[in-house]
């Protein structure tokens, strides 16, 4: 396994020059070229035995043009100047072919040229340069330890590692060369009871914008998590099924991040709010006419979009439309105050500048508006610990780790489960319950957030697999948040929902 | 279809990789993919794209002391073949004994193996594009907003092995989906179709069905959460049953962690799952749903193996007359478990004997129930019961005395697809369909309309 890029400066320069010169000759008013190389490696072990390996490199280029008020995109894996010129012609032809079915001109808000930009995400060990044998050795060791623990029936171990080399050149004078890495290790445990019933539990270590050092202990205490996991699983299997009803919830960042992602992150994407995702990903209840007035949640709720967060999965230097990475407010004191923008949706809504949320998941896909690292701010440095929040609950549940998720197309009604639900009685954790899911409406839920934990509870979590658009694109994104106390939330019993 | 042959022919790349191989055995897969698409929203075309992709995978199989190991490497475009083969061989050298090891099959050559891959482009969508301006005009005059997506791809697989296999298969895949929303925000509906080539896909037919449903929604009816009799047309049945298909892995069932696990160990193969004599099967030769008739995979998993590349795929009954007949096993897993080999096939058909009723006929025979035309955001909640949660979207209608009398608010549901089969009280005729939630991944399905009692609408969603 190796991770050196085959995209040298001279090759990128010749390809982008061929495309931009062709676009200019064809009369395109705007043109941008992305030449990218993406290394993706995936290893899975089943009960300590190697099951799957993937060692995949995608290399290609895509050209977007704006011509006579219409946009066109074409891409290829053929890295020749002839191909660069050809796909530029295809993009211009495509723009012309669909122009008669356009209503209004496709426009981009302006962005100054940024000259030459070089940016690299922070990491110590490129995860795609680590030999397969080393990955297998570590995952095998972890699997063996867990399989040897009492009560553990099966263990699946996996790690997905990605290194992206992104080159961006546009007709405004920006030439960016960027490299970023990310990694997502996870282990799933299964315990089977004497009656054949079973329970599962996954590690709650989040995916991060770090290198292989993450598995060696930088940013996560693996030894502690692996040591605790078997007993937690055995306890879960023996736990009573939850009594449905309304509970106060203390939610750990390892679970809350996903609720933020679904009910805030996607709801504050301007393309959705304007109706451009109506056919597939959906729209948003947080429509632009409510900007500045929509009471999204309680007054302690402060949410930002940020493409600069250290180790953030959506962090970058320059986005895929040549816009500088930024940090911006989405919700201030519980009120909707901003959206995530790309240059075209910003133009539609009358903004002066994009806040840098364009991303294409591959050189073969058109950049679209994708999610920044959308994060909920913690309380003060001396704010409450998670234990402090638990102490304030008479009858409730403490939730760790994400699991199942679902939300409607306007981001109102959601349902989530978790890896662990602990019962809280009179401020004390008294054991786990099984089969729990929480269900709420977005504004009700965030309006019931009574307290957030202090800085000590803050954690950057996230996902590798956020899907959006047609054709479907996948993006990685982080969400930082503290623990939070949310009052009076509906809890379902999943087995009862299944009629059992 | 336009062709710009700037890359070396795929079959030559495959042969070059085999020639460069130094391992005991080798498999090469070259996938040539071309795609074209158009998106529209707010009564306007928004984005479009054309692309050409090529992925070259080399699977090196090494033998050490009679034990086989495999290593895989995949590169796009026009890779350095020697580097690619060396990368696969290095991965194989690092890998322990393969738990899915089996002998590569021998022979089997397709006469068209050396033909170039056909390419698609935007011209195949000319019919759709030509109709869109008129459709947008009609929508605006009716205060309706249209949004949708049309796409077409041609994926040609070249499979070559050191044991003499030379297979080639061209997979055409297309779809058109469109939703309309009334200006009042209360009315919306969705229609979608899967197709190989857009022949017979008429935008006018789409518009007509969309308008019929929007007319149904002139009356809005609020209903509470609860259990309802529902009619699930083929597209929503597809969204649920493909989830069942995705769970039908033999090894996972044996490990005791799926709905197909037998309490006390083993699988539920042979167990009666429904009183209705459902047949759930896949068949590469099924007309209009044709798909690759041989295994082609660049990575192993619990149900498919790189060692099985080239093995023929035939009609596979997953459920027969309501009885679970097969779960997915690769050859090595099947041998270990004394089960039948059954690899995933890229189509899925659900039917019941003698079922001929159309959806409209089933509506006409409904005293009171809900018609669910579109489901969304379906996710697993509980693997033991395969409880799925999801939402209705763009089309829940109330049926009273055989007539659709209005649209109903959206719901969050919690249901298991196996329970739907078990509780189905009527089955309609099977027809090709396209699921709103899963159609992008399972394009080739044919399903019937199902009447299901006591469908669990867990809560009301305010989304509309």
Please provide the DSSP assignment of A162-217 as one string. EEEEEEEEETTSEEEEEEEEEEEEEEEEEEE-TTS-EEEEE--PPPBS--GGGGGT
- Are both B243 and B205 inside the same structural domain? no
Contacts of B50 in chain A (CB under 8 A): 73-75, 87, 90-91, 94
B49–A195 CB contact, under 8 Å:
no
Contacts of B412 in chain A (CB under 8 A): 406, 408, 413, 415, 439
3-state secondary structure chain B: CCCCCCCCCHHHHHHHHHHHCCCCEEEEEEEEEEEEEEEEECCEEEEEEEEEEEEEEEEEEEEECCEEEEEEEEEECCCCHHHHHHHHHHHHHHCCCCCCCCCCCCCCECCCCCCCCCCCCHHHHHHHHHHHHHHHHHHHHCCEEEEEEEEEEEEEEEEEECCCCEEEEEEEEEEEEEEEEECCCCCEEEEEEEECCCCCCCHHHHHHHHHHHHHHCCCEECCCCEEEEEEECHHHHHHHHHHHHHCCEHHHHHCCCCCCECCCCCECCCCECCCCCCEEEECCCCCCCCCCCECCCCCCCCCCCHHHCCCECCCEEEEECCEECCCEECHHHHHHHCCCCECCCCCEEEECCCCCCCHHHHHHCCCEEEEECCEEEEEEEECCCCEEEEEECCCEEEEECCEEEEEECEEEEEECHHHHHHHEEEECCCEEECCCCCCCCCCCEEECCEEEEEEEEEEEECCC
Q: In angstroms, what separates the C-alpha of B317 from chain A's closest C-alpha?
A: 26
- The domain tally of chain B equals 2
- Are both B285 and B324 inside the same structural domain? yes
Output the pLDDT for position A195: 87
Would an 8 Å CB–CB cutoff place B266 in contact with chain A? no
Output the pLDDT for position A500: 72
A409–B96 CB contact, under 8 Å:
no
Q: A333 and A296 in contact (C-beta within 8 Å)?
A: no
- Are both B234 and B117 inside the same structural domain? no
Q: What DSSP designation does A269 have? A: B
Q: In angstroms, what separates the C-alpha of B185 from chain A's closest C-alpha?
A: 11
- Provide the β-strand partners of residue B413: B390, B457
Interface of A with B in 363-402 (CB under 8 A): 364-366, 368
Would an 8 Å CB–CB cutoff place A435 in contact with chain B? yes
Mutate which: A52, A152, A368, A409, vs B, most B CBs within 10 A: A409
Last residue of a domain, one of B153, B178, B213: B213
Q: In angstroms, what separates the C-alpha of B329 from chain A's closest C-alpha?
A: 13
Distance CA A496, CA A500 (A): 5
Average per-residue pLDDT for chain A? 97
User: CA of A422: how far to CAs of A239, A241, A427, A452, B388, in Å?
Assistant: 10, 11, 12, 19, 23
Mutate which: A4, A69, A278, vs B, most B CBs within 10 A: A278
Q: What DSSP designation does A99 have? A: G
- Are both B19 and B149 inside the same structural domain? yes
Contacts of A55 in chain B (CB under 8 A): 71-74, 87-88, 91
Range of the domain at B189: 4-213
Give the tokens for residue B78: 């026009």
Looking at chain B, which residue has its C-alpha nearest residue A188?
B257
Looking at chain A, which residue has its C-alpha nearest residue B418?
A498
A-B contacts at Cβ under 8 angstroms: 292
* Nearest by CB: B379 against A83, A87, A404: A404
- Are both B94 and B206 inside the same structural domain? yes
Last residue of a domain, one of B186, B213, B240: B213
The CATH number given to whatever domain includes residue B134 is 3.30.2290.10
- Are both B203 and B143 inside the same structural domain? yes
Would an 8 Å CB–CB cutoff place B44 in contact with chain A? yes
- Are both B234 and B173 inside the same structural domain? no
- Are both B308 and B199 inside the same structural domain? no
Q: What average pLDDT does this structure show over A215-243?
A: 98
* Nearest residue to B348 via CA among B446, B414, B220: B446
DSSP element (H, E) containing A97: helix A81-98
Contacts of B132 in chain A (CB under 8 A): 101
- Are both B225 and B200 inside the same structural domain? no
* Nearest by CB: A154 against B35, B98, B257: B257
Q: In 10 A of CB B288, how many CB atoms?
A: 12
Q: In angstroms, what separates the C-alpha of B88 from chain A's closest C-alpha?
A: 8
Q: B26 and B17 in contact (C-beta within 8 Å)?
A: yes
- Sort A436 into a burial class: Cβ within 10 Å, 0-12 / 13-18 / 19+: buried
Q: In angstroms, what separates the C-alpha of A60 from chain B's closest C-alpha?
A: 7
Mutate which: B45, B150, B393, vs A, most A CBs within 10 A: B45
Give the tokens for residue B163: 């044991």
Output the pLDDT for position B2: 41
Q: What average pLDDT does this structure show over A375-387?
A: 97
Half-sphere exposure of B402 (CA within 13 A, CB side): 3
- Are both B285 and B192 inside the same structural domain? no
Q: What average pLDDT does this structure show over A165-183?
A: 97
3-state secondary structure B92-160: HHHCCCCCCCCCCCCCCECCCCCCCCCCCCHHHHHHHHHHHHHHHHHHHHCCEEEEEEEEEEEEEEEEE
A53–B96 CB contact, under 8 Å:
no
A408–B382 CB contact, under 8 Å:
no
Rounded to the nearest 10 degrees, the angle between the axes of helix B81-94 and helix A132-147 is: 30
* Nearest residue to B22 via CA among B78, B74, B86, B104: B86
Last residue of a domain, one of B169, B186, B213: B213
- Are both B8 and B123 inside the same structural domain? yes
- Are both B268 and B227 inside the same structural domain? yes
Give the tokens for residue A485: 């106390």
Would an 8 Å CB–CB cutoff place A60 in contact with chain B? yes
Q: What average pLDDT does this structure show over A430-456?
A: 98
Cis bond upstream, residue A471 (ω within 30): yes
Kindly provide the ipTM of the predicted complex, given to two decimals: 0.95
Interface of A with B in 121-160 (CB under 8 A): 131-133, 136, 153-154
B122–A78 CB contact, under 8 Å:
no
Contacts of B423 in chain A (CB under 8 A): none
Output the pLDDT for position A3: 61
What does each of the 464 residues of chain B score in pLDDT, given as a tens digit? 344 457 999 999 999 999 999 999 999 999 999 999 999 999 999 999 999 999 999 999 999 999 999 999 999 999 999 999 999 999 999 999 999 999 999 988 999 999 999 999 999 999 999 999 999 999 999 999 999 999 999 999 999 999 999 999 999 999 999 999 998 888 999 999 999 999 999 999 999 999 999 999 999 999 999 999 999 999 999 999 999 999 999 999 999 999 999 998 999 999 999 999 999 999 999 998 999 999 999 999 999 999 999 999 999 999 999 999 999 999 999 999 999 999 999 999 999 999 999 999 999 999 999 999 999 999 999 999 999 999 999 999 999 999 999 999 999 999 999 999 999 999 999 999 999 999 999 999 999 999 999 999 999 999 98
Q: A392 and A429 in contact (C-beta within 8 Å)?
A: no
């Amino acid at each position: 396994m190796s991770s050196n890029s085959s995209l040298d400066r001279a090759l990128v320069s010749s390809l982008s020059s061929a495309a931009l010169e062709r676009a200019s000759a064809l009369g395109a008013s705007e043109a941008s070229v992305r030449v990218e190389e993406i290394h993706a490696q995936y290893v899975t072990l089943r009960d300590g035995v190697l099951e799957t390996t993937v060692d995949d490199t995608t290399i290609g280029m895509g050209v977007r043009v704006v011509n006579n008020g219409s946009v066109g995109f074409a891409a290829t894996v053929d890295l020749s100047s002839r191909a660069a010129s050809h796909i530029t012609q295809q993009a211009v032809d495509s723009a012309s072919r669909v122009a008669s079915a356009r209503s209004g001109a496709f426009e981009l808000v302006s962005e100054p040229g940024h000259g030459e930009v070089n940016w690299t995400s922070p990491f110590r060990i490129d995860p795609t340069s680590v030999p397969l044998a080393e990955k297998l050795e570590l995952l095998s060791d972890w699997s063996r330890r867990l399989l040897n623990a009492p009560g553990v029936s099966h263990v699946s171990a996996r790690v997905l590692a990605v290194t992206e080399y992104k080159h961006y050149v546009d007709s405004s004078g920006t030439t960016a060369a960027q490299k970023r890495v990310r990694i997502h290790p996870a282990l799933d445990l299964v315990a089977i009871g004497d009656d054949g019933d079973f329970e599962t539990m996954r590690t709650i270590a989040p995916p991060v914008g770090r290198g292989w050092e993450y598995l060696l202990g930088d940013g996560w205490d693996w030894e502690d998590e692996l040591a605790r996991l078997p007993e937690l699983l055995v306890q879960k299997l023996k736990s009573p099924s939850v009594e449905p009803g309304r509970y106060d919830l203390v939610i750990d960042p390892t679970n809350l991040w996903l609720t933020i992602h679904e009910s805030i992150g996607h709801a504050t994407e301007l393309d959705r709010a304007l109706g451009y995702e109506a056919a597939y990903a959906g729209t948003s209840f947080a429509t632009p006419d409510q900007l500045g007035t929509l009471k999204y949640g309680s007054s302690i709720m402060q949410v930002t979009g940020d493409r600069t967060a250290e180790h953030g999965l959506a962090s970058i230097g320059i986005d895929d439309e040549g816009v500088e990475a930024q940090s911006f407010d989405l919700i201030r004191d519980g009120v909707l105050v901003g959206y995530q923008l790309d240059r075209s949706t910003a133009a539609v809504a009358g903004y002066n500048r994009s806040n840098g949320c364009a991303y294409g998941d591959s050189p073969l896909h058109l950049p679209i508006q994708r999610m920044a690292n959308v994060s909920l701010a913690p309380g003060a440095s001396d704010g409450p610990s998670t234990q402090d929040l638990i102490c304030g609950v008479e009858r409730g549940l403490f939730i760790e780790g994400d699991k199942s998720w679902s939300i409607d197309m306007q981001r109102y009604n959601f349902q989530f489960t978790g890896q662990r639900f602990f019962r809280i009685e009179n401020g004390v954790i008294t054991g786990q319950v099984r089969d729990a899911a929480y269900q709420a409406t977005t504004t009700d839920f965030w309006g019931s957030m009574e307290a957030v934990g202090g800085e000590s509870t803050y954690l950057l979590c996230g996902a590798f697999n956020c899907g959006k658009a047609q054709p479907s694109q996948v993006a990685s994104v982080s969400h930082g948040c503290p623990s939070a106390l949310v009052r009076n939330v509906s809890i379902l019993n999943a087995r009862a929902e299944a009629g059992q | 279809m336009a062709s710009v042959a700037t890359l070396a022919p795929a079959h030559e790349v495959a042969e070059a990789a085999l020639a460069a191989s130094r391992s005991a055995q080798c498999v090469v897969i070259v996938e040539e993919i071309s795609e074209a698409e158009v998106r529209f929203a707010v009564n306007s075309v928004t984005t479009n794209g054309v692309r050409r992709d090529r992925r070259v995978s080399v699977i090196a199989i090494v033998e050490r002391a009679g034990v086989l190991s495999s290593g895989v490497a995949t590169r796009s475009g026009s890779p350095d073949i020697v580097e690619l083969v060396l990368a696969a061989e290095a991965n194989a050298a690092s890998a322990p004994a393969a738990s899915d090891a089996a002998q590569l099959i021998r022979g089997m050559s397709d006469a068209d193996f050396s033909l170039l891959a056909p390419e698609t482009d935007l011209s195949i969508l000319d019919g759709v594009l030509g109709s869109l301006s008129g459709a947008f005009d009609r929508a605006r005059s009716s205060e309706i907003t249209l949004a949708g997506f049309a796409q077409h791809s041609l994926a040609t697989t070249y499979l070559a092995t050191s044991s003499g296999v030379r297979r080639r298969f061209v997979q055409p895949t297309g779809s058109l989906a469109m939703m309309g929303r009334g200006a009042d925000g209360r009315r919306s509906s969705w229609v979608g179709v899967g197709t190989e080539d857009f022949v017979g896909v008429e935008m006018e037919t789409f518009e007509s069905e969309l308008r019929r449903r929007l007319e149904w929604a002139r009356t809005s009816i609020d209903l509470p959460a609860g259990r309802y009799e529902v009619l699930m047309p083929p597209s929503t049945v597809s969204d649920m049953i493909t989830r069942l298909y995705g769970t039908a892995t033999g090894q996972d069932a044996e490990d005791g962690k799926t709905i197909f696990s037998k309490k006390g160990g083993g699988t539920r193969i042979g167990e009666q799952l429904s009183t209705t004599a459902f047949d759930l099967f896949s068949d590469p030769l099924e007309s209009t749903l044709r798909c690759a008739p041989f295994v082609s995979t660049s990575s192993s998993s619990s149900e498919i193996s790189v060692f099985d590349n080239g093995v023929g795929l035939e009609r596979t009954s997953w459920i027969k007359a309501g009885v679970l007949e097969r779960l997915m096993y690769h050859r090595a897993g099947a041998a270990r478990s004394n089960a039948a080999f059954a690899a995933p096939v890229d189509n899925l058909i659900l039917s019941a004997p003698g079922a001929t009723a159309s959806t409209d006929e089933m509506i006409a025979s409904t005293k009171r129930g809900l018609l669910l035309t579109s489901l969304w955001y379906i996710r697993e909640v509980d693997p033991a019961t395969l409880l799925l949660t999801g939402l209705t979207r763009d089309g829940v209608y109330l049926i009273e005395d055989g007539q659709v009398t209005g649209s109903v608010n959206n719901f969050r549901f919690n249901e298991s697809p196996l329970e739907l089969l078990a509780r189905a009280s009527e089955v309609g005729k099977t027809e090709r369909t396209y699921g709103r939630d899963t159609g992008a991944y399972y394009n080739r399905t044919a399903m019937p309309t199902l009447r299901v009692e006591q469908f669990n609408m867990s809560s009301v969603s305010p989304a509309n």
